[in-house]
Structure 1
Amino acid sequence: MNFSLLYDFLCKLQKNNAKDWMDANRSEYHNVRDLYINWLDALNIKLAILDTNYYDTPGKKAINRINNNLLFHPNKPVYKDHFGAGLDQVSKQGDFYIHLGTNESFIGGGYWHPSSKTLKSIRQAIDYNGDEFKKILNKKSFQNMFGGLLDDNPLKTAPKGFSRDHRHIDLLRRRSFAVSVQLTKKEVIHPNFENRVIEIYKELLPFRRYLNQAVTV
C-alpha cells in the first residue's frame, strides 16, 4: 500500500474536520480505507502463518471507526486524526494494535487501564508466576524495541490483598500493562514497513500471550 495516500487524506481531514467536508470527499475516504483494509487482510494472513494460536482478524473487523464517539465525548472533533486497527483480536483480550495518524503513529499491545476484573487477573498471574513475566520484560531484544512498560501512574502503595514487600510489588502496583513502538512517517511509507510490523509482532507475542492467558485462565 502507498501509505502516503493515507497520511495525505488524514492531513486534509484534520484541516476540514466536519461532516460536510467528509460527505464531499467520501469517495477518497473509501479509497484510502479500502486500500488499508486490503493491506490488513494480507498482513492478517502472514501473521496467522507465524502464530498457530493467532485469531483470524480480517481487515474489515480489524479497522476502527474513524468517527469519534460524540455521545460520550461531545468536545472531541467529529473525526479522529488516525486510522486504528487491532489484529489477533479476541474478545476482551489485548490485541495487536496499529495506529497511523497525523500527530502520532505507533504499534503496541497489552492492556491500557483495563477493567478492575482484568487488572485483578493480571495481578494474580504475576503473584503466581511473576518471574516468567519479568523474564519477558527484561529480554534484551524486548528492551531494545519497547524500552519497558508505558508509564501509567502506578499505585503509591500495594494493591488490596498484596504485601508491600512482595517480590514483584513494582509490577503489582501498576494500573496498566502495555508497550508500544513509536513510528515516524518516513518509516511507515518505507517499502519495508510491513516487515517492520511483523518484526514488532513477533517480539510482542510472548508479552501479549502471558497477559491474555492471565485474563482467560
Structure 2
Amino acid sequence: MNVSIIFQFLKELAANNNREWFQAHKDEYLRAQAEFEELLTSIIARISLFDESIRGVQAKDCTYRIYRDTRFSSDKTPYKTHIGGYINARGKKSAHCGYYVHLELGNCLLAGGSWCLEPKILKDVRQSVYDNIDEYRAIVEDPAFKQYFPIIGETHLKTAPKGFPKDFEYIDYLKSKDFTCSCIVADEFYMAPDFMDKIEDVFKQLKRFADFTNYTIDDYE
C-alpha cells in the first residue's frame, strides 16, 4: 500500500482536469484506485476488530465514481479531485451510520454519520437525543471523542426544531440537520508509520456515536 501514489495522481488530475488528459493517464488512475482499495481493505480489517458488522464488507463496494455530475453545476470539470470510500455494513446508500475515508489534497477527512435523513427519522433521532441527553452528552462531550470530532452536524437550524421546547438546556444538540462528524487530517498523516493505528483510534470513537444514532435509525431499515 502506497498512499503517496494516490496523492500524486490527485495532484496531477487537479492540474489537468479534462477528458483528454485523463484518457491518456487512465493507467495511473487505475493504479491509484487499486491503492485506495488496498487502503480501504486494511481499514476495514481494523474496524472489524471492534465493529463485527463490518466484517465481510468489500472495498470495491465502498468506493464512488470519479466522474462528476455536471448537469446542474457551473463547474464543468469532468472529474472529482478527491477519492472517497464509505464503509457501511448496510451499503453506501443506507441511512445507517458508517465510516467515511476522504483523500483530497489539503482536505483529508475521517468522518461518518447519517446525511439527508428523512424528516421522520431525523425527528426520531432528535427525540432520542432529547430523551437520552445524559448518554448522548457522555459521548459527544468526552474529550477522547471531541479531540477528533469537535462539532456534530454540517448544517444547523437557527432555532429549536418543531416539537421540542426552546428552553431545553441542550437545545443546540437538536439543531443539527444531519448527524455527522468529521475529523480533519493533514496529508502528511498518511505518511506516518503508525497512521493505521491512528485511523483505528479515530473510528473507535466514531463507533460510540454510531451506536447511539443507529439504535434509532436501524428501526427504519
Mean alpha-carbon deviation: is it higher for 205-214 or for 108-117? 108-117
Give the one of 133, 141, 146 matched to 2:144: 141
Match of 1:199 in 2: 201
Mean alpha-carbon deviation: is it higher for 84-93 or for 68-77? 68-77
Check whether the contact 1:105–1:184 (CA below 8 A) recurs between aligned residues: yes
Check whether the contact 1:81–1:103 (CA below 8 A) recurs between aligned residues: no
Check whether the contact 1:82–1:102 (CA below 8 A) recurs between aligned residues: yes
Alpha-carbon distance between aligned partners in 2 of 1:5 and 1:85, rounded to the nearest angstrom: 17
**Superposition deviation, residue 105 in structure 1:** 0.5
Match of 2:6 in 1: 6
- Name the amino acid aligned to 2:53: N
Instruction: Give the share of equivalent positions with the same residue, in percent.
Output: 28
**Superposition deviation, residue 167 in structure 1:** 3.8
Mean alpha-carbon deviation: is it higher for 35-44 or for 130-139? 35-44
TM-score by length of 1: 0.90
**Superposition deviation, residue 89 in structure 1:** 4.1
Give the one of 167, 170, 183 matched to 1:168: 170
- Over 3 Å counting, the alpha-carbon distance change for 1:103 and 1:186 in structure 2 is closer
Mean alpha-carbon deviation: is it higher for 86-95 or for 191-200? 86-95
**Superposition deviation, residue 51 in structure 1:** 1.7
TM-score by length of 2: 0.89
**Superposition deviation, residue 53 in structure 1:** 3.2
Check whether the contact 2:87–2:98 (CA below 8 A) recurs between aligned residues: yes
1:101 and 2:101 aligned: no
Check whether the contact 1:2–1:189 (CA below 8 A) recurs between aligned residues: no
Alpha-carbon distance between aligned partners in 1 of 2:53 and 2:34, rounded to the nearest angstrom: 27
- Name the amino acid aligned to 1:106: L
In the TM superposition, 1:41-52 aligns within 5 A as 41-52=41-52
- Over 3 Å counting, the alpha-carbon distance change for 1:176 and 1:216 in structure 2 is same
CA offsets 1:110-129 (integer angstroms, 9 cap, x no match): 23453323321211211221
- Name the amino acid aligned to 1:114: L
Structure 1 unmatched runs, 5+: none
Structure 2 unmatched runs, 5+: none
CA offsets 1:140-173 (integer angstroms, 9 cap, x no match): 2112222232552x32322111111234322122
Mean alpha-carbon deviation: is it higher for 200-209 or for 182-191? 182-191
Give the secondary-structure state (helix, strand or coil) at the position aligned to 2:48.
helix
Match of 2:126 in 1: 123
Alpha-carbon distance between aligned partners in 2 of 1:189 and 1:206, rounded to the nearest angstrom: 27
Check whether the contact 2:151–2:181 (CA below 8 A) recurs between aligned residues: yes
Match of 1:213 in 2: 215
**Superposition deviation, residue 73 in structure 1:** 3.1
Give the secondary-structure state (helix, strand or coil) at the position aligned to 1:182.
strand
Alpha-carbon distance between aligned partners in 1 of 2:191 and 2:74, rounded to the nearest angstrom: 33
Give aligned pairs, total: 216
